[in-house]
Structure 1
Amino acid sequence: MTFSATTVLVLALIAAVIFAIGIWAYSTANRLDRLHVRSDQSWHALDSALARRAVVARSVAIAIAGPMSDPASADRAKLLSMLADRAERASRSDRETVENQLSAALSAIDIAQLRPQQVAELADAEARVLIARRFHNDAVRDTLALRTRRPVRILHLGGTAPLPTYFEITERATPAASTGLDVDTIRTSARVVLLDDDDRVLLMRGHDPETPDISFWFTVGGGVDPGETLRAAAIRELWEETGHRADPDSLRGPIWRRVAVFPFDGDLIRAEELFFALRVHRFEPRPGNLTAVERRSITANKWCTAADIVALDQSGETVYPYHLDQLMSEAAKVVSTGTDPEVRSIR
């Protein structure tokens, strides 16, 4: 049995088309699987952020239900506590409704009654919910955009995985506005995880000028000036705070991203912090050009091991970012391999 050249050509074209469809279907199914994993992970992150907000809401309820509170405040505290409990126990189908009720209850609280640190905790919790919700909805949008395409539906490339769903709750962009405190919603900070040859990290000890009795430790770094790049800001802050001059190309990263809300010098600051990693030979830090506020608030520095960081936390002097003792090995690996990994969020 022989085939004409035309027949062979047609069969070859059909085989090529089938092969191309197979390759497309395989790559699309893999991409869809990754999108489903992303939407699942983003939901878990949102769930954690909502759970933390419920914990903070309960602490706010306790604060406003003190012995000197009026009946109206006591009623609001009772409602807030009840909604926080309900939010923690709600099923996925009821979660939006309950979380929106909790958002409304939080909006009704006069946070001028709260301590500045508690205001910061509430603002931080709400900021994390806002960010996590947006990441989740972005993941859902991308997954649905691919899942709902006709070829994907015809070939059942989504398998039996359920369709992800959006999560919509009320947002308060400036949760501390009613207190009269200035909330800086656009501040970006560049920070440096500075490691020596023994993998010790350089930390600065400081305090809020308005609460000098409460000290904490933090990595080198600070705010990015207008028109300045993250890398340039990190190099500048490194010299200003330690006197060390570094080559911008020697920085690795950013490796981490942290959203922080905190009171400082009478203001409530919301900052997005991006962390670089850098290895240097150990040196004795001598500030190059501290600002007036930094001269009042930075009191010491120390090269710390992971055990040192744990000891500082246990002594009551918090180290930022949280869990830095566990993160140091990741920073050390980055500077050792000389790679710039994908930025990931930390606390």
Structure 2
Amino acid sequence: MQTRLLPPTPEALGLAARLIRDGALVAFPTETVYGLGANALDEEAVRSIFAAKGRPGDNPLISHIAHMDQLGPLIAADPAPAAVKLMDACWPGPLTLIFPRSKRIPDAVTAGLDTAAVRMPSHPVARALIERAGVPIAAPSANRSGRPSPTTAGHVLEDMDGRIPLILDGGPCDVGLESTVVDFKDGVPRILRPGGVTREMIADIAGDCLVDGAVMRPLKEGERPRSPGMKYRHYAPKGALTLFAGHSADVAARIRREYDAARLEGHSPLILALEGDLPLYGERRTLSMGRDAHEAAQRIFAALRDADQLQADVLFAEAVTTDGIGLAVMNRLGRAAAFHIEQV
């Protein structure tokens, strides 16, 4: 299969919409990461997402809508009051909400769960594609399963060339991390996957917000994922990644020792650090995660892909604060490292 990479012109959007309606896959930009989309109401089309990504079938997908009229047919009950507040404040935007599912949604989308994950993206290309297709679009990130999520069309092409017919190139993604996913067990918002809409923001809007324990740990044996990004090792570079948490000077000293030992053992190590800490590592090979957690959110997936390009086989990364969007950064780094996090 030849994969075409096109700018989102009216003609290209028309082609993409026809492909979606015909049961094919299209990669498209959102404000979070690039998505790999199919008609959310077409079971066979949705299953082709899993085949293209190599994605396990028990990992649910998010259905993307362009307007509120598309929500009703996807859900089986009126949204909880807290959900209504969040939709009013955060849609369109990088927030996914969990609802009781409608029978119209194929099991392949929900991984057989009795709930459905729905989001209204704010990216104009994503919204135009959904509008033109005339159907909700189920879409995970447009990468091979387990790899860092794509924040540029070039990243998508690295993983999906020859696997899908079309990539719409809308430039770099603004947020850089997948959407926040929230359910409403007992009526209280609970974050299942952190993202650009933070716990603090949700609490301000809805009055309260909990964070699921699985955000910073692997799922337990037999525990089913209720959201994308909960069960499997995700976002991972090819090299082995270890995180170090603690005071910056102590963390830097530990990483320097680990780096030097890895070099002596014949490895090709690399350090991921915040901009202000880079001088602490001297002449050792480093990549910047940005000046703060907000910039790290935008850059982290690109940095992990850059590490692969540099052929790093051992990576050492500084932990960041878990306040605000830092929780989302640590969730992604933690899963990329299989939660190999050492306190210094």
TM-score range, shorter chain: under 0.3
Task: Normalising by structure 1, report the TM-score.
Answer: 0.25
Larger radius of gyration: 1
Q: Which has the higher contact order (CA 8 A, sep 6+)?
A: 2
